[in-house]
């Protein structure tokens, strides 16, 4: 499981949806990879480079990289984000399955 080095804790606005993104990593070097992410697609790319992902929770959405180096939590902060949470979960499930 990922050790608790919190690298990111910020609101990301994505197509009108406000999402609180928290990223916890296992080391300072991995933290450097994720510190400046700007949108969910960048986060998915970083997780992909770490061997893929598995969803550990759907609400809030929690994803852990296959190598257990990164844990991403995404919490909807407005009504639009909450409305699209299910769609985001389904897209992420497909992404994680395609990597496995």
Residue 94 has pLDDT above 90, yes or no: no
pLDDT value of residue 76: 95
CA 19 centroid distance within chain? 10
pLDDT value of residue 6: 92
Instruction: Quickly tell me which residue has 């009504």 as its tokens.
Output: 79
pLDDT value of residue 45: 82
Instruction: Quickly tell me which residue has 């969803």 as its tokens.
Output: 55
pLDDT in tens, 26-78: 889 889 888 887 777 788 888 888 988 899 999 899 999 999 999 999 999 99
User: What's the pTM?
Assistant: 0.85
């Amino acid at each position: 499981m990922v050790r608790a080095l919190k690298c990111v804790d910020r609101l990301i606005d994505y197509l009108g949806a406000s999402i609180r993104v928290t990223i916890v990593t296992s080391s300072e070097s991995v933290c450097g990879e994720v510190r400046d992410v700007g949108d969910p697609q960048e986060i998915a790319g970083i997780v992909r480079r770490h061997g893929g992902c598995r969803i550990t929770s759907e609400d809030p959405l929690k994803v852990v990289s296959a190598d257990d180096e990164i844990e991403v939590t995404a919490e909807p902060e407005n009504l639009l984000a909450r409305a699209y949470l299910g769609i985001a979960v389904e897209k992420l499930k497909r992404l994680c399955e395609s990597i496995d």
